[in-house]
């Protein structure tokens, strides 16, 4: 089976040669190609070369678009700080208050250079993969996008204390989100992965998640022309997993490494794909043997679960992670599949 | 329901307006001078304890708690006879986000809770070099430096603060508190980067700083 067949079989609950594996290696391609990060995150050809190197080195079943949301912030006018060994961060948001949204011109995904970078990077990776490896486009949901323009505190403050403003802003953002997401799919992304911070029980109360975030996501996702994977967003998601159920086009959930997968399966039902696995940011702080044993334990736990795939939870795997630790993930899937 | 439980209930529901109305009503009846000591302090201690376990508090609830504290401090400043010079008895302490870290929210919340608990604070903001933390601590007499980082990469920059403290022979005399989301994700990271302690969330910062300040005094006394 090739990677595309493996992922499609997982979606369909069909027999596999081995479990699909999807370590999040967006950043790691820069290490493999020795590419400076300011180039890696601005030049689509450099990024695509990095993903080719990721595929040649680790044979993952999913390749990722740039896991670099701050570059979307750049398109809104925010300023970035580049690092030597991690994706950039926003050092200064474009605006500071909800009121300033009225003056903000939303970028055009068809012409704005930083957004075109995302599309072109996906196009390059997809061309090279020729349909044999799925390409995941990673994108924040419309309820998270305002953070990239106004910063976390201002957006949280707006949601909590000015809910009408928050809804008005989200209504403006949704068409932008839909346009961008569909553009990424048209460029060759197989599916969209959305880390859902403002649906997370670590970030917002159940009331905010159900009355503000979910309706906006429902409205936006109904307009997306491709499958969506809802990602835990950096913290355990189980307490709000039921709120993510039934959103349009959802084919899978990505769980936190601390989530109980069996409990998630009970909530999600038997047919949706669950991605689970070790914590990506923490991967380099273990031995390769520990990573492999952790993966094997998870695979054993999911032995009868036809709709399960192994991934790395959380953000990107850090560049400092030893390749042996990453190899341990497909190795676990290979060796478990042979048992 | 007593005032403390009612306030916790409002904060849990992220109801800032309701919490402020409750506090105002109590303040009008019993006096604003007593609000901090009799209501807000015990409530913050209580919810800090209740929310120590991971997953028991949302960022939104902690943020509302910080805003309620901030609102109340503002109203007390307007209406109480107790001046900030009298009220702020602890510290001083220095806080900031480490070099290359721009995630200010957690640090600001820690600052609010520490101030509410009576700490004199020097907040250095984002992207602060290691030497600046130690320089400021020496300049102000701070025994605790609180450094915040969001990502693993920037958390590792905190090692430079540890090294700077040790290089100047201040080990144990200036204590290093560390915090940020990454410390919950990566067990053992506090020790790895040379931190003297962390808190489960922003509400636990005051207790941590109290403890580290006391440790510094013990070290100085040579006990």
Q: How far apart are CA B161 and CA B150, in angstroms?
A: 16
pTM, two decimal places: 0.91
The predicted-structure confidence for A245-277, as pLDDT tens digits, reads as follows 999 999 999 999 999 999 999 999 999 999 999
Phi-psi region of A77 (alpha: psi -120 to 50; beta: other; left: phi over 0): left
pLDDT at B42 over 90: no
Burial class of residue B79 (count of CB atoms within 10 Å of its CB; 0-12, 13-18, 19+): middle
Give the closest-approach CA distance of A116 to chain B in angstroms: 26
In chain A, pLDDT over 70 holds for what percent of residues? 99
pLDDT the model gives residue B147: 98
Contact A139, A181 (CB under 8 A): yes
pLDDT of residue B76: 81
A138 Cβ contact partners less than 8 Å away, ≥ 6 residues apart: A26, A64, A65, A66, A67, A69, A192, A193, A194, A195
**What is the phi/psi pair of residue A236, to 5°?**
-55, 140
CB atoms within 10 A of CB B164: 21
Tokens of A242: 């039921």
Q: Which residues of A touch B63 (CB under 8 A)?
A: 153, 156-157, 160
Question: Is pLDDT above 60 for A86?
Answer: yes
pLDDT above 60 (res A217):
yes
CA A180 to chain centre: 15
Q: What values do phi and psi take at A79, rounded to 5?
A: -105, 145
pLDDT digits (tens, 9 = 90+) for B179-216: 998 898 888 999 999 999 999 888 889 999 999 999 99
Q: How far apart are CA B143 and CA B212, in angstroms?
A: 8
What pLDDT is attached to residue A92? 95
CB contact under 8 A, B151 and A89: yes
B8 min Cα distance to partner chain A (Å): 14
Q: Contacts of residue A85 in chain B, CB cutoff 8 Å? A: 153
Number of domains forming the structure of chain A: 1
Chain A contacts of B67, Cβ < 8 Å?
161
Q: CB B188 to CB A285 under 8 A?
A: yes
Say which residues have a Cβ less than 8 Å from residue B59's Cβ, sequence separation at least 6. A156, A202, A203, A204, B105
Nearest alpha carbon to residue A83 among A114, A128, A136, A41: A41
Do B193 and B147 contact (CB within 8 A), yes or no?
no
CATH of the domain at A309: 3.20.20.210
pLDDT at B54 over 70: no
ipTM of the predicted structure?
A: 0.91
Q: Which residues of B touch A86 (CB under 8 A)?
A: 151-153
Whether the predicted pLDDT of A143 surpasses 80: yes
Confidence (pLDDT) at A338: 59
B53 in reach of chain A (CB within 8 A): no
Q: Number of C-alpha atoms within 13 angstroms, CB side, residue A280?
A: 29
Beta-carbon contacts of residue A28 (< 8 Å; ≥ 6 apart): A50, A54, A316, A317, A319, A321, A326
Confidence of residue B168 (pLDDT cuts 50, 70, 90): very high
Q: Give the pLDDT confidence of A30-65 residue by residue, as tens digits.
A: 999 999 999 999 999 999 999 999 999 999 999 999
* Residue B162 confidence (pLDDT) above 60: yes
**Cβ-defined contact of B59 to A202 (cutoff 8 Å):** yes
Longest CA–CA separation in chain A, Å: 61
Query: Which has the higher per-residue pLDDT, B74 or A122?
Result: A122
Compute the nearest-CA separation of B157 from chain A (Å). 12
% of chain A residues with pLDDT over 90: 97
The CA dihedral of A12, A18, A19, A23, to the nearest 10 degrees, is: -130
Instruction: Tell me the pLDDT band of B78, cut-offs 50, 70 and 90.
Output: confident
- A339 has pLDDT over 60: no
The answer to whether A81 contacts B102, with C-beta atoms less than 8 Å apart, is: yes
CA-closest candidate to residue A90, choices A23, A151, A138: A151
Asked if A231 and A193 touch (Cβ cutoff 8 Å), the reply is: yes
Per-residue model confidence (pLDDT) at position B55: 66
Rounded CA-CA distance B130/B122 in Å is 15
Structural domain of A262? 3-336
Residue positions counted in chain A: 339
Q: Which of B55, B64, B185 sits opposite A160 (nearest CB)?
A: B64
Mean pLDDT of all residues in B68-84: 81
Chain A residues with a Cβ under 8 Å from any Cβ in chain B: 81, 83, 85-86, 89-91, 151-153, 156-157, 159-161, 201-205, 207-208, 234-236, 239, 258, 279, 281-282, 285, 314-315, 318
Q: Inspect the interface and report whether the beta carbons of A152 and B152 lie closer than 8 Å.
A: no
Say which residue, B31 or A134, is predicted with more confidence.
Answer: A134
Q: What is the pLDDT of residue B52?
A: 67
Task: Count CA atoms within 13 Å of residue A25 on its CB side.
Answer: 35
């Amino acid at each position: 089976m090739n990677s595309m067949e493996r992922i499609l079989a997982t979606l369909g609950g069909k027999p596999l040669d081995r479990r699909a594996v999807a370590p999040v290696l967006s950043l790691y391609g820069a290490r493999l190609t020795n590419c400076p990060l300011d180039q890696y995150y601005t030049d689509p050809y450099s990024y695509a070369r990095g993903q080719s190197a990721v595929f040649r080195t680790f044979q993952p079943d999913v390749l990722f678009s740039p896991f670099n949301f701050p570059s979307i912030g750049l398109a809104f006018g925010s300023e970035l700080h580049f690092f030597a060994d991690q994706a950039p961060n926003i050092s200064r948001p474009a605006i500071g208050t909800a009121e300033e949204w009225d003056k903000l011109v939303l970028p055009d995904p068809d012409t704005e250079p930083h957004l075109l970078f995302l599309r072109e990077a996906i196009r390059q990776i997809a061309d090279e993969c020729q349909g044999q490896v799925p390409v995941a486009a990673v994108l924040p949901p419309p309820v998270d996008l305002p953070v990239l323009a106004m910063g976390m505190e201002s957006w949280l403050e707006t949601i909590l204390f000015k809910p009408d403003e928050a809804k008005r802003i989200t209504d403006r953002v949704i068409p932008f989100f839909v346009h961008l997401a569909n553009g990424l799919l048209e460029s060759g992304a197989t599916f969209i992965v959305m880390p859902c911070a403002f649906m997370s029980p670590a970030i917002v109360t159940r009331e905010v998640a159900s009355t503000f975030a979910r309706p906006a996501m429902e409205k936006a996702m109904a307009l997306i022309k491709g499958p969506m994977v809802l990602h835990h967003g950096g913290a355990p998601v189980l307490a709000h997993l039921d709120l993510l159920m039934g959103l349009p086009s959802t084919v899978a959930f990505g769980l936190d490494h601390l989530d109980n997968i069996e409990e998630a399966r009970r909530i999600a039902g038997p047919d949706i794909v669950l991605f689970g696995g070790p914590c990506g940011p923490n991967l380099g702080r273990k031995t390769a043997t520990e990573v492999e044993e952790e993966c094997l334990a998870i695979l054993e736990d999911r032995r009868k679960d036809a709709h399960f795939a192994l991934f790395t939870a959380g953000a990107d795997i850090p560049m400092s992670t030893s390749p042996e630790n990453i190899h341990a993930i497909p190795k676990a899937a290979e060796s478990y599949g042979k048992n | 329901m007593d005032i403390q439980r009612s306030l916790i209930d409002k904060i849990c529901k992220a109801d800032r307006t309701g919490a402020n109305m409750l506090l105002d009503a109590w303040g009008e009846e019993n006096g604003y001078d007593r609000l901090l000591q009799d209501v807000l302090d015990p409530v913050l201690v209580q919810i800090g304890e209740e929310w120590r376990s991971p997953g028991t508090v949302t960022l939104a609830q902690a943020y509302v708690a910080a805003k309620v504290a901030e609102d109340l401090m503002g109203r007390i400043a307007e209406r109480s006879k107790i001046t900030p010079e009298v009220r702020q008895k602890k510290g001083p302490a220095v806080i900031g986000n480490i070099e290359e870290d721009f995630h200010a929210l957690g640090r600001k919340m820690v600052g609010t809770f520490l101030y509410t608990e009576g700490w004199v604070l020097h907040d250095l903001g984002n992207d602060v070099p290691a030497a600046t933390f130690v320089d400021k601590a020496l300049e102000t007499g701070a025994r605790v430096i609180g450094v915040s980082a969001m990502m693993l990469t920037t958390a590792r920059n905190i090692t430079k603060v540890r090294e700077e403290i040790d290089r100047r022979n201040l080990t144990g005399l200036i204590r290093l508190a560390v915090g940020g989301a990454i410390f919950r994700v990566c067990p053992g990271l506090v020790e790895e980067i040379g931190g003297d302690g962390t808190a489960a969330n922003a509400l636990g910062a005051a207790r941590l700083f109290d403890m580290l300040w006391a440790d510094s005094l013990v070290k100085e006394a040579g006990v």
